[in-house]
Amino acid sequence: MGEEPDVIVVGTAHVVDLRDQLRLALQSHGVRGIALELDHDRAAVLLRPEGSNDPEPGGSGGPIFLRLWAIIQRRLGAELGQGAGDEMRTGAELAKEWKVPIFLIDDPVRETIRRLFLALSPKERVSLLVGGVVGLFIPPKIVQGEIDRYAESPEDLLEQMRVAMPSTSRVLLDERNEHMAERLRAIRDAGHRPVAAIVGGAHVTGLSAELTKRGVSSVAIPFAELRKLTASSGAPPAPTS
């Protein structure tokens, strides 16, 4: 086996149960840290102790479309067999089990929302709001079908999003990829390598490209490969740069 990369970028889906797959994908790499696509505010909610009375995402605060999407994620996560954010909880549990540090690499959610509202065209604002309302009534079977379709051709669907909602794509994907890559470079420079970066599947290609620009070596385990891992499949799939 060759030298380990600086970063192992693992693509997940926020409402799909991938706990066993994450363990299988990372256990052979000897990771020195686990980076999560979270900021401190979201981590305080998602990683809080069981039974805590802290407010849930999608509560009374924040823009209406953000609250709608939080509700949708929780509902679909429950109906598809996983709570929203469980892949992040799994990453935190693995870090604790393996006695390695957890790094939070995403932008503060409030700052992201501020940038998004400044960038959105009126048409995009309406599209986000309508999408949130419609999402409340989408049957889980349809969502599962879309997840399967995304796993097979993520670049096609991302390109559709860039055409339909360019400002949203720039703020929610491109800018965050740049900022997460900067934080991962700092983590590498501090001596934590390899570090596993657990991110949504839509970030894998862009984040990997941003790491390469910064001289940070990386391999990617895309969502399509991760979800196919089973104990009988043996070692994780050969990573790709």
Q: Is residue 239 part of a domain?
A: no
Q: Is residue 238 part of a domain?
A: no
Q: Is residue 135 part of a domain?
A: yes
For helices 64-79 and 140-152, the axis angle rounded to 10 degrees is: 90
CB 11, CB 206: distance < 8 Å: no
pLDDT in tens, 70-99: 544 444 444 434 445 788 999 999 999 999
Domain count, the chain: 1
Q: Is residue 228 part of a domain?
A: yes
For helices 64-79 and 122-135, the axis angle rounded to 10 degrees is: 30
Q: Is residue 241 part of a domain?
A: no
Question: Which conformational region is residue 218 in: left (phi greater than 0), alpha (psi within -120 to 50 degrees), or beta?
Answer: beta
pLDDT in tens, 130-161: 555 444 444 445 444 455 555 566 677 778 77
Q: Which domain holds residue 204?
A: 7-233
Q: Which residues of the chain have pLDDT under 70?
A: 1-2, 14-16, 49-84, 127-154, 231-241
Q: Is residue 17 part of a domain?
A: yes
Residue keyed to tokens 């009988």: 232
Q: Is residue 2 part of a domain?
A: no
